[in-house]
Chain A
Amino acid sequence: MSRAEIVQSADAAVAGVEDGSTVLVGGFGLAGMPFDLIEALIRQGARDLTIVSNNAGNGDVGLAALLAAGRVRKVLCSFPRQSDSWVFDGLYREGRIELELVPQGNLAERMRAAGAGIGAFYCPTGVGTPLAEGKEEREIGGRRYLLEYPIKGDYALIAAHRADTLGNLTYRKTARNFGPVMATAATTTVVQVDEVVEPGGLDPEAVVTPSIHVDRVVRAQARRYTVQGAR
Chain B
Amino acid sequence: MTSPSDRPRAGAPTAADHRLSMDELAAVIARDIPSGAFVNLGIGQPTKIADHLPADSGVVLHTENGMLNMGPRAEGDDVDPDLTNAGKVPVTELPGAAYFHQADSFAMMRGGHLDVCVLGAYQVAFDGDLANWHTGRPDAVPAVGGAMDLAIGAKDVYVMMPLFTRSGEPKLVPRCTYPLTGVGCVGRVYTDHGVFDVGPEGVRIRETYGIGAGELADRLGIAFPG
Given contacts A81-B143, A104-B145, A126-B148, contact A227 B84 (CB under 8 A): yes
**Once A and B bind, how many residue pairs between them come within 8 Å at the CB atom?**
158
Tell me whether A80 and B143 are in contact (CB under 8 A). Answer: yes
10 tightest A-B CB contacts, nearest first: A105-B106, A105-B149, A128-B183, A108-B102, A81-B143, A29-B88, A175-B82, A79-B145, A112-B103, A104-B146
- Chain B residues whose CB sits within 8 angstroms of the CB of A223 once the complex forms: 81
- Let me know if B226 is at the binding interface, CB within 8 A: no
CA gap between A171 and B144 in the complex, in Å: 26
- Let me know if A129 is at the binding interface, CB within 8 A: yes
CA gap between A81 and B133 in the complex, in Å: 11
- Let me know if A28 is at the binding interface, CB within 8 A: yes
- Let me know if A174 is at the binding interface, CB within 8 A: yes
Given contacts A78-B145, A131-B148, A176-B66, contact A108 B101 (CB under 8 A): yes
Interface residues of B in 122-157 (CB under 8 A from A): 129, 134, 139-149, 152-153
Looking at the assembled complex, report how far the CB atom of A161 sits from the nearest CB atom of chain B, in whole angstroms. Answer: 8
1/0 contact trace for A84-120 toward B, CB 8 Å?
Answer: 0100110011000001011111111101100000000
**Chain A, residue nearest B101 (CB):** A180
Given contacts A128-B180, A174-B99, A178-B101, contact A31 B149 (CB under 8 A): no
A-B contact pairs, 21 of them (CB 8 A): A28-B66, A28-B88, A32-B82, A80-B141, A81-B143, A103-B147, A104-B146, A105-B146, A108-B103, A108-B106, A123-B110, A125-B110, A125-B149, A125-B152, A129-B148, A129-B181, A173-B83, A177-B101, A180-B101, A226-B79, A231-B89
- Let me know if B65 is at the binding interface, CB within 8 A: yes
Tell me whether B141 and A227 are in contact (CB under 8 A). Answer: no
Interface residues of A in 184-231 (CB under 8 A from B): 208, 223, 225-228, 230-231
Question: Does more than half of chain B's interface fall in helix, strand or loop, or is it mixed?
Answer: loop
1/0 contact trace for A117-140 toward B, CB 8 Å?
Answer: 000000111111111000000000
Looking at the assembled complex, report how far the CB atom of B211 sits from the nearest CB atom of chain A, in whole angstroms. Answer: 32
- Let me know if B197 is at the binding interface, CB within 8 A: no
Looking at the assembled complex, report how far the CB atom of B65 sits from the nearest CB atom of chain A, in whole angstroms. Answer: 5
Contact of B101 among A89, A92, A106, A181 (CB under 8 A): A181
Tell me whether B144 and A131 are in contact (CB under 8 A). Answer: yes
Tell me whether A105 and B109 are in contact (CB under 8 A). Answer: yes
Given contacts A81-B142, A127-B152, contact A30 B101 (CB under 8 A): no
1/0 contact trace for B37-70 toward A, CB 8 Å?
Answer: 0000000000000000000000000011111000
Looking at the assembled complex, report how far the CB atom of A158 sits from the nearest CB atom of chain B, in whole angstroms. Answer: 11
Tell me whether B141 and A31 are in contact (CB under 8 A). Answer: no
- Chain B residues whose CB sits within 8 angstroms of the CB of A226 once the complex forms: 79, 81
Known pairs A28-B102, A173-B80, A208-B101 / 15 extra A-B pairs, C-beta < 8 Å: A28-B66, A81-B140, A81-B142, A82-B143, A99-B142, A103-B147, A105-B107, A108-B106, A128-B180, A173-B83, A173-B99, A174-B84, A175-B82, A227-B84, A227-B90
- Chain B residues whose CB sits within 8 angstroms of the CB of A131 once the complex forms: 144, 148
Which residues of B are interface residues toward A (Cβ below 8 A)?
A: 63-67, 79-84, 87-90, 93, 99-103, 105-107, 109-110, 129, 134, 139-149, 152-153, 179-183
CA gap between A179 and B100 in the complex, in Å: 10
**Chain A, residue nearest B88 (CB):** A29
- Chain B residues whose CB sits within 8 angstroms of the CB of A3 once the complex forms: none
- Chain B residues whose CB sits within 8 angstroms of the CB of A106 once the complex forms: 149
Looking at the assembled complex, report how far the CB atom of A27 sits from the nearest CB atom of chain B, in whole angstroms. Answer: 10
CA gap between A220 and B181 in the complex, in Å: 39
Given contacts A79-B143, A101-B144, A125-B152, contact A111 B83 (CB under 8 A): no
- Chain B residues whose CB sits within 8 angstroms of the CB of A172 once the complex forms: 82
1/0 contact trace for A1-40 toward B, CB 8 Å?
Answer: 0000000000000000000000000001111100000000
Which residues of A are interface residues toward B (Cβ below 8 A)?
A: 28-32, 54, 78-82, 85, 88-89, 92-93, 99, 101-109, 111-112, 123-131, 171-181, 208, 223, 225-228, 230-231
Tell me whether A103 and B149 are in contact (CB under 8 A). Answer: yes
Tell me whether B66 and A129 are in contact (CB under 8 A). Answer: no
CA gap between A195 and B110 in the complex, in Å: 35
Given contacts A81-B142, A112-B103, A128-B180, contact A31 B82 (CB under 8 A): yes
